[in-house]
Amino acid sequence: MHDMTSHGNRSGAIVAAIAAALLMVPFSAFAADEPVPGSSQGGSPGPAAPAEAKITTELPGKITVDNRSERTDLTARVRNGGTKDSGPIALSVVGFDGLRVTAVEGCVAIPKARLPQGSNSGFACVIDNLMAGKDRAYKVAATFDLHRTGKICLPVTVGASEKLIWQQGPVPFGTSSPTPNAPDTPLLLGTDNVPFGPDTPPAAGDLPRTGAPDDVLPLGLAAFALLVMGGAGIWWTTRSER
C-alpha cells in the first residue's frame, strides 16, 4: 500500500510540474508521408520520437457537417503502439481556416491571443502517462464553414520539454461534391474542400486531393498550460520561425 501511495504521489507531482511549466515549443509542420488508408493520415513522427513508445494520433476518416448549424463532432485519439509507457505527454487539437474547434472534452482552451499563427482555435490535453498498447480518446466539437476549406492539427509533445514526438496535420477535411441543399455534408480526411456558395459553384469532375497540402506553413505551438498560482489562468506562448 505504501509503495502504491508513493507511486501515486510521484505521478501527481510530475503532472503538477508539467502543468506549471511555461514552454515554448517551436516546430514546423512536418510533411506527411505518402497517404495511406487509416486515420493517422497526414501524420509524421517528430525529431524526438522515442524508439519504444510509438506515439501516434488518429482522426476519423469521415465526418458529417450539419448544413444549417455548421456543427460537427469527431474523436481525436492518441495511441501508444510501442512496448514502453510514454510518461507525461500533451496532445493539442488545433483548427485552421474554416474548421474551428469549439470544445475538447477534458481539455483546456488556448486563449485567442496565444494561438499558433494561422490557427483560429485550439485546446490542450495533458496526459500523465499512456501505457504501452493503450490509447486515449477525446471528444471534439467543432464547426466547419462549408464556404471555405478547413484543416485540423494534432501535435504531441513529451514531458516538460520542447520535444515534438508526433504531429498529424494540418490535414484537411473536405469534399469535391458539395451538397448545399442536403441536411448535411460528409467530409473526408485528407481531402481539400471545394467550397460552395454564390461565387464558388461546385467544380464538376474534380477528384479529391488527399494528403497534406503543399502550402502548409510553419507554426509555433506551446504544448502545455501554465496554471498560475493554482487559479484558472492559462497562458500559452507562440514563437514564429526565423
**Is residue 240 in a domain?**
no
**Is residue 242 in a domain?**
no
pLDDT at 23 over 50: no
Integer Cα distance of 73 and 137 in angstroms: 13
Q: Quickly state the pLDDT bin for 9 (edges 50, 70, 90).
A: low
pLDDT at 74 over 80: yes
**Is residue 163 in a domain?**
yes
Q: List pLDDT tens digits, range 111-168.
A: 888 788 899 999 999 999 999 999 999 999 999 999 999 999 999 988 756 689 999 9
Integer Cα distance of 109 and 239 in angstroms: 18
pTM of the model: 0.71
Cis ω for the linkage preceding 170 (within 30 of 0): yes
Contact 203, 194 (CB under 8 A): yes
| Contact partners, residue 2, CB within 8 Å, separation at least 6 | none
Contact 63, 74 (CB under 8 A): yes
Q: Quickly state the pLDDT bin for 10 (edges 50, 70, 90).
A: low
Q: What is the CATH number of the domain that holds 12?
A: 2.60.40.10
pLDDT at 62 over 60: yes
Phi/psi for 240 (5° steps) reads -75, 150
Residue 191 pLDDT: 95
Q: Are strands 108-109 and 150-158 parallel, antiparallel or unpaired?
A: unpaired
**Is residue 181 in a domain?**
yes
Residue 34 pLDDT: 41
Comparison of pLDDT for 25 and 58, the residue scoring more: 58
Could you tell me the residue range of the domain that residue 149 belongs to?
Answer: 2-235
Q: Count how many domains the chain has.
A: 1
Range with the poorest average pLDDT among 12-26, 41-55, 127-141, 199-213 = 199-213
Q: List pLDDT tens digits, range 176-235.
A: 998 888 999 999 999 999 997 654 443 333 323 333 333 332 333 333 433 322 222 222
Mean pLDDT of 56-83: 96
**Is residue 241 in a domain?**
no
Q: Quickly state the pLDDT bin for 100 (edges 50, 70, 90).
A: very high
**Is residue 147 in a domain?**
yes
